[in-house]
């Protein structure tokens, strides 16, 4: 059974059809990269999966559970999914430790000591143990983004959604975030990441999905999609950006 299964997703913003019958399955331990022109719906898809946007039609299943069924408790679903955005992820007025433990404590009613112990362990694993008491503005962009990833990991999610997580970083800081994502992959984390950096997709993805016209119109291993795209629109897109 796939961890994530999206069927015939439709999402319309004020007459603008962004997702138009999109299908996507993601297997356990798989890393899928979403590529496509700006405005092709990559972020919208991730937001729909995390129930931050309501779909207009179709279904989304997480581990076989129909999470877009009416009456679904969105907070409980989000507990099973970690999401990280491009930038401005952290609350500036909270320490690193409080940033990480806020949601587990407030939303998920986790015990403070328990949440903090796990947060410290995760921080230590990514070499940020000594930053627990620091405020975000004392951290580099790469460190902030690593903390945002740790925060998304604190509920031991089944699925991680990463939306352009390296795009706002200075080039010299991209590497440390990439390394962290590669380590997550090595640990077997299932991930869907949107990126406009093809080198990033090439390095971490098992499968690349090209979005166009609200659907996945071509997909396959990165070497195949980048090396020998079959769809004219994929070829045109890759010619423009590589
Ligand atoms: P991508 O991440 O691939 O660049 P997005 O999912 O951000 O694409 O956007 C897809 C389309 O949906 C764009 O045309 C964008 O303007 C539109 N869109 C996204 N979010 C909203 C929103 N909250 N309200 C109206 N339109 C939106
Ligand atoms: Mg986007």
Distance from Cα 82 to the centre of ligand 1, integer Å: 21
| 48 vs 7: CA distance, rounded Å | 12
Write the burial class of residue 152 (CB in 10 Å: 0-12 exposed, 13-18 middle, 19+ buried).
Answer: buried
Q: Whose CA is nearest to atom 18 of ligand 1?
A: 13
Q: Which of 44, 50, 56 to mutate to test the pocket of ligand 1 (most atoms within 8 A of CB)?
A: 44
Taking phi over 0 as left and psi of -120 to 50 as alpha, with beta for the rest, 113 belongs to alpha
10-residue block means of pLDDT along the chain (242 residues)?
Answer: 98 97 98 97 98 98 97 94 89 95 80 90 92 96 93 93 92 89 96 92 95 98 96 94 72
Contact 230, 218 (CB under 8 A): yes
Q: Whose CA is nearest to atom 24 of ligand 1?
A: 13
Q: Whose CA is nearest to atom 20 of ligand 1?
A: 44
| 1 vs 207: CA distance, rounded Å | 17
ipTM for this model: 0.98
- Could you tell me if the CB of 13 is within 6 A of ligand 1? yes
Ligand 1 nearest-atom number relative to CA 194: 2
| 118 vs 153: CA distance, rounded Å | 10
pLDDT at 207: 98
Q: Whose CA is nearest to atom 26 of ligand 1?
A: 13
Distance from Cα 41 to the centre of ligand 2, integer Å: 7
pLDDT at 96: 96
pLDDT at 242: 63
């Amino acid at each position: 059974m796939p961890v994530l299964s999206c069927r015939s997703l439709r999402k319309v913003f004020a007459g603008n059809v962004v997702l138009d019958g999109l299908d996507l399955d993601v297997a356990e331990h798989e890393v899928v990269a979403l590529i496509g022109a700006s405005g092709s719906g990559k972020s919208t898809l991730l937001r729909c999966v995390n129930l931050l946007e309501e779909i207009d039609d179709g279904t989304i299943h997480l581990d076989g559970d129909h999470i877009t069924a009416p009456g679904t408790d969105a907070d409980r679903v989000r507990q099973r999914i970690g999401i990280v955005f491009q930038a401005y992820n952290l609350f500036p007025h909270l320490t690193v430790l409080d940033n990480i433990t806020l949601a587990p404590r407030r939303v998920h009613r986790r015990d403070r000591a328990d949440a903090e112990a796990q947060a410290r362990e995760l921080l230590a694993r990514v070499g940020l143990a000594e930053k627990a008491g620091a405020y975000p503005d004392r951290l580099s962009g790469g460190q902030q983004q690593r903390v945002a990833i740790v925060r998304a990991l604190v509920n031991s999610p089944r699925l991680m959604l990463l939306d352009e997580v390296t795009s706002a970083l200075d080039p010299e800081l991209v590497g440390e975030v990439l390394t962290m994502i590669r380590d997550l992959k090595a640990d077997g984390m299932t991930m869907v990441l949107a990126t406009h950096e093809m080198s990033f997709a090439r390095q971490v993805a098992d499968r690349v999905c090209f979005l166009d016209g609200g659907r996945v119109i071509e997909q396959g291993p990165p070497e195949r999609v980048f090396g020998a795209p079959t769809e004219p629109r994929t070829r045109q897109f890759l010619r423009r950006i590589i």
